Amino acid sequence: MENKKFVVLCTVSLTFLLSIATVSAFVEELDDTFKDTRMPDEIWLIQFYAPWCTYCKQLDPVWYEIGAELKSMGSPVNVGKVDATAHTNFAKEFRVGGYPAIKLLKDDLKYNYRGPRTKDGIMEFADRVSGPVVRALPSQQLFQNVMSRHDVLFVYVGGPSDLKEKYISVAKELIVHTYFFSAARNILPKAVTLKEYPAVAVFKDGTYFLYDEQHDGDLASWINSERFLNYLQIDSYTLYEMGDTSKLVALAIVDERNPTEESIRYKTMVERVASEYKDLYSKEFQFGHMDGNEYINGLIMEELAMPSIIVLNVSNDGYFLPPNKVETKEQLVKFIDGVSKGRIKSQGGNGYYQCFIRIAFNTKTTVTNIFTNAPLLGAFLVVVFCGGGSALCYGLCMAWRSMRNTESMRDTEDEEPITGERVEPKQLKGPGEDKKTETKVKNPAEKKAD
């Protein structure tokens, strides 16, 4: 019986190790020779990691799954990873600033992934960027199929033109964020009316909007600002991407792990304002809700009650809080209008003082969480910190003291009398010596004269 258990255990362990080896075989470890050995038409999805990085270690199993799945799908994307601390020139060329960093190399272009570190998110990014920059929709059936799978859809309508060249150029830059399509006029739904032809349209929120150069300005800026739904659930990754849109973000902060009627009412209130006042505020505001207040607490440096309303300026870490509690849709509209017209002043920001205070607040929050969740670990870290700090202070004091002594000795050695003459040491007189007269010692000539 014991032998059977041992055999089963060995079989399971061997199977597990073989599966790991098989999966990891589809991820290549890269080094500084990559630039010389890579073929020009190869597409590479690369993870830059550091051996000490906890997040990198957490990403490893996901990364190996991505490599195996892309290979099984017949994808042209090669998957690799590189130790950025060992191959610094490689990392420097890709402008790696943190770990793990995920980049896709296609032709001579380098694309940076800024989404969540999940298998689905990274796979979708690799599929989008590695494929055609602009994908054709040759039939109404395919158009409807794509519409059902994408919340936001950008479509160029028409043949060759200067607008199409601009569209392709913008697509090369912004394909890291969204897909780009093209279609003939007869492929579009009958409800779509084009004022001009060719045209660029965005389909979202159950309707469509047409790009107007005179009204909307630069095509890239317009696409960048329209690539989100008018109302959506927002997390820290989404907020980071919204920093490029120049829009303010109006949020309902709720606790979805413990939903209440008030939380639902706040979400519904923000969604209604986003829908009913779309024409008035959609150019300036992005609307949504966020689950949890951890990110917001770090931004405003205090505990924000849930549910609450807040408007964020993601581009400079500024924020706006209602002067009074928002209970109705009308009060929310009044608050949004006050922010829009400058009646409500912005708080926070990314100045040096604010950054320092924010770092101090985040440090305090981290230490508090450690002591709350793991008091023994917290006590150990405090002892280590205090011991290290004491040792550092002692070492600095001893070094300063040694340096002062050395300087004092050098000053004594270098000191010389002003006249340049030798100075005889002064002899101390004994008691009563100052009252004695000096005895003159006479030479022989003087004695003979006497």
pLDDT in tens, 414-430: 544 444 444 444 444 44
* The pLDDT of residue 426: 47
Selected catalytic residue, list 53, 386, 393, 397: 53
* The pLDDT of residue 288: 96
**Cα 22 to Cα 175: distance, rounded to the nearest angstrom:** 32
Average pLDDT, the chain: 81
Q: What is the mean pLDDT of residues 277-306?
A: 90
Instruction: Tell me whether residue 53 is one of the annotated catalytic residues.
Output: yes
**Cα 173 to Cα 111: distance, rounded to the nearest angstrom:** 9
Given phi > 0 = left and psi -120 to 50 = alpha, else beta, which region is 428?
A: beta
Higher pLDDT pick, 219 / 8: 219
* The pLDDT of residue 353: 63
186 has pLDDT over 70 = yes
Task: From 251, 197, 254, 245, select the one nearest 224 (Cα to Cα).
Answer: 245
Q: What is the mean pLDDT of residues 276-298?
A: 91
pLDDT digits (tens, 9 = 90+) for 381-404: 566 666 666 667 767 777 666 666
Segments in 211-347 forming alpha helices (H): 213-216, 219-226, 236-242, 261-276, 278-281, 294-300, 329-340
Q: How confident is the model at residue 197 (pLDDT cuts 50, 70, 90)?
A: confident
229 has pLDDT over 80 = yes
pLDDT digits (tens, 9 = 90+) for 30-78: 988 888 888 888 999 999 999 999 989 999 999 999 999 999 988 899 9
Question: 255 vs 220, 307, 342, 373, 397, CA distance in Å?
Answer: 36, 7, 30, 20, 51
Selected catalytic residue, list 56, 386, 393, 397: 56
E strand or H helix that includes residue 21: helix 2-24
Sequence letter at residue 250: A
Given phi > 0 = left and psi -120 to 50 = alpha, else beta, which region is 208?
A: beta
Q: What is the mean pLDDT of residues 104-117?
A: 89
* The pLDDT of residue 306: 92
Which regions of 25-76 does DSSP assign to beta strands (E)?
27-29, 43-49
Q: Which two tokens stand for residue 315?
A: 């581009």
pLDDT digits (tens, 9 = 90+) for 163-172: 999 999 999 9
